[in-house]
């Protein structure tokens, strides 16, 4: 089954399970690039993660996935938040994010961010990003992790950088790879120092050490010494 077929099968199953229509079926109110904010954001629970982990597996490379049980544990102790963006009128989910929020030197780490596959191409990611920035406006800053795994769209990374840049995120030096693939860090400074590079290079190993076993971390991450 190719990627398109997988998405078609999965989105159909999701909607049957959740009894919610697609964005296309509600295009008069969901097609809101700019304009009045129609979306809101809430913190999801463990049942939500059971549904959303399937999407995470489809949206991100298997080599960069945190174990589902580790995410559950992080949500239990408050160090991870699963955020769900939804339409206020219908309650329909429009996107999600997974954010690490505790013990990161006052910063938060945006690990995963995606718009629901059947809602893409309508500018909803812009609204979701604004909601995330607003939610963590009292933090030192927000760090976003981007990876360079193979993608059907060879221009994906450039588009992602451009997307984050429009919200004030700037790329900083990264000194690690995930499963042999370069990881890129972009930071939106809110209250933090201008040069966050030394802090970020401590945040990354601290973050992964909480959610991976020593064996998995050694296999998955390669953190170079800072020059």
Go through the domains of the chain in sequence order and give each one's CATH number: 23-223 (3.40.630.30)
State the average pLDDT over residues 145-171: 84
Residue 16: the pLDDT is: 38
Buried b / exposed e over 87-106, threshold 16 CB at 10 Å, is beebebbbbbbbbbbeebee
- For the record, the structure tokens of 135 come out as 């939610």
The pLDDT value recorded for residue 50 is 95
Q: How far is CA 54 from the centre of its chain?
A: 14
25, 34, 85, 128, 225 from 116: Cα distances, Å: 14, 18, 9, 11, 38
Q: Rg of the chain's alpha carbons, rounded to an integer?
A: 17
pLDDT band at 150 (very low <50, low <70, confident <90, very high): low
The pLDDT assigned to 26 comes to 44
More confident position, 72 or 20: 72
* Average of per-residue pLDDT across 185-194: 86
Please say if the pLDDT value at position 131 is more than 90. yes
Say which residue, 194 or 97, is predicted with more confidence: 97
pTM exceeds 0.75: yes
Q: Is a pLDDT exceeding 80 seen at residue 23?
A: no
Task: Find the Cα–Cα–Cα–Cα dihedral 191, 193, 197, 198, rounded to 10°.
Answer: -110
């Amino acid at each position: 089954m190719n990627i398109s077929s997988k998405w078609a099968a999965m989105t159909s199953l999701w909607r049957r399970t959740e009894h919610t229509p697609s964005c296309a079926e509600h295009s008069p109110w969901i097609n809101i690039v700019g304009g009045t904010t129609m979306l809101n954001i809430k913190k999801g629970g463990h049942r939500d993660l059971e549904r959303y982990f399937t999407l995470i597996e489809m949206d991100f490379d298997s080599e960069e996935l945190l174990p589902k049980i580790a995410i559950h544990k992080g949500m239990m102790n408050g160090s991870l938040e699963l955020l769900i963006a939804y339409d206020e009128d219908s309650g329909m989910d429009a996107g999600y994010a997974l954010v690490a929020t505790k013990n990161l030197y006052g910063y938060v780490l945006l690990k995963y961010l995606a718009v629901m596959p059947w809602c893409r191409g309508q500018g909803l990611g812009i609204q979701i990003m604004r909601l995330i920035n607003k939610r963590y406006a009292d933090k030192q800053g927000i760090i976003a992790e981007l990876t360079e795994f193979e993608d059907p769209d060879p221009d994906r990374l450039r588009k992602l950088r451009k997307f984050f840049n429009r919200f004030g995120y700037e790329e900083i030096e990264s000194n690690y790879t995930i499963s042999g693939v370069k990881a890129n860090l972009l930071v939106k400074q809110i209250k933090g120092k201008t040069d966050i590079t030394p802090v970020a290079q401590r945040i990354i190993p601290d973050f992964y050490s909480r959610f991976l076993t020593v064996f998995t971390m050694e296999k998955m991450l390669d953190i170079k010494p800072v020059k």
